[in-house]
């Protein structure tokens, strides 16, 4: 399994230092949340900020677009240093086309579902994606409480992967801590995104290790 600290919870006045710190404390992926103030009721940062920290690490930049019509930004995000680009199925009319668009940039493609969206909605693209991100909170803000009904979706995605020989990683995001991480791993998650739990911990190595165990 992998741990992907979400830099949404970093101290933006020293973002580079925080990035280097989580890498040295065991991060596998760096989760980068881009919000447009439209698809979600919050704004974060965009490709320029990601580009400015790209040189600090070789770790995978796992970019989660919370953007309406993400097709407008795929090229820019890929050129700014993303290794994985994940888009919400609810944010585009053409999920299959956007996934192809991401792959054409040479970047891995992910699809994201909100807590209110069933797995069936993305079944037709599961063969095409490298990652499925199951939101375990409603997107837009760090520090929210984990929604337990997401666990069944993780199990369902794991079973579908086994039945069909699909290749995607199952990632979870929102309210992940020492307790909820165990439940997600038992259900079949491969990648745990955690923001506030890691960044508010006084020992980040301990926090990351506790998610693994």
Residues at the annotated binding site for substrate? Answer: 6, 64, 140-143, 173-175, 195-196
| Strand 108-113 with 84-88, pairing | parallel
Give the residue, chosen from 62, 171, 173, 190, that forms a contact with ligand 5RP under the rule CB under 6 A: 173
Q: Using CB under 6 A, count the residues that bind ligand 5RP.
A: 22
Q: Which distant-in-sequence residues (6+ apart) come within 8 Å of 81 by Cβ?
A: 50, 51, 54, 61
Any contact of residue 125 with ligand 5RP (CB under 6 A)?
no
For the chain, helix, strand, coil in percent to 5 are 45, 20, 35
Span interacting with ligand 5RP, options 95-103, 117-125, 156-164, 167-175, rule CB under 6 A = 167-175
Give the residue, chosen from 29, 39, 168, 197, that forms a contact with ligand 5RP under the rule CB under 6 A: 197
Angle, alpha carbons 205-209-213 (nearest 5°): 170
Q: Which distant-in-sequence residues (6+ apart) come within 8 Å of 5 by Cβ?
A: 22, 27, 30, 31, 193, 194, 195, 198, 199, 204, 208
Q: Which of 83, 128, 173, 190 is flagged as catalytic?
A: 173
Any contact of residue 91 with ligand 5RP (CB under 6 A)?
no
Q: Which of 18, 33, 36, 62 is flagged as catalytic?
A: 33
Alpha-carbon distance of 167 to 179, in angstroms, equals 27
Q: How far is the CB of 61 from ligand 5RP (least distance, A)?
A: 14
Alpha-carbon distance of 181 to 185, in angstroms, equals 6
Q: How far is the CB of 199 from ligand 5RP (least distance, A)?
A: 8
What are the residues facing 88 on neighbouring strands?
112
Give the residue, chosen from 116, 118, 143, 148, that forms a contact with ligand 5RP under the rule CB under 6 A: 143
Active site residue 18: no
Tell which residue, 18, 104, 17, 14, has the closest CA to residue 6: 18
- Residue with Cβ nearer ligand 5RP (34 or 109): 34
Q: How far is the CB of 64 from ligand 5RP (least distance, A)?
A: 6
Contact residues for ligand 5RP (CB under 6 A)? 6, 8-9, 31, 33, 64, 137, 139-144, 173-176, 193-197
The residues annotated as belonging to the active site are: 33, 173
């Amino acid at each position: 399994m992998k741990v992907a600290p979400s830099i949404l919870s970093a101290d933006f006045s020293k973002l580079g230092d925080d990035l280097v710190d989580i890498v040295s404390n065991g991060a596998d992926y760096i989760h980068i949340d881009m919000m447009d103030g439209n698809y979600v009721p919050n704004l974060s940062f965009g490709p320029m900020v990601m580009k400015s920290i790209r040189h600090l690490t070789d770790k995978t930049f796992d970019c989660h677009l919370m953007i309406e019509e993400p097709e407008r930004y795929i090229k820019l995000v890929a050129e700014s240093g993303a290794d994985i680009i994940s888009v919400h199925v609810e944010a585009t009319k053409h999920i299959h086309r956007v996934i192809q668009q991401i792959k054409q940039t040479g970047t891995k493609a992910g699809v994201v579902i909100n807590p209110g969206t069933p797995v069936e909605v993305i079944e037709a693209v599961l063969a095409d994606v490298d990652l499925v991100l199951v939101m375990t909170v409603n997107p837009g803000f760090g520090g929210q409480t984990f929604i337990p009904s997401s666990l069944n979706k993780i199990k369902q995605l794991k079973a579908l992967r086994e039945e069909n020989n699909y290749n995607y990683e199952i990632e979870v995001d929102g309210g992940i801590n020492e307790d909820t991480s165990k439940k997600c791993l038992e259900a079949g998650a491969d990648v745990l995104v955690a923001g506030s739990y890691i960044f508010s911990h006084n020992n980040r190595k301990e926090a990351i290790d506790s998610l693994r165990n």
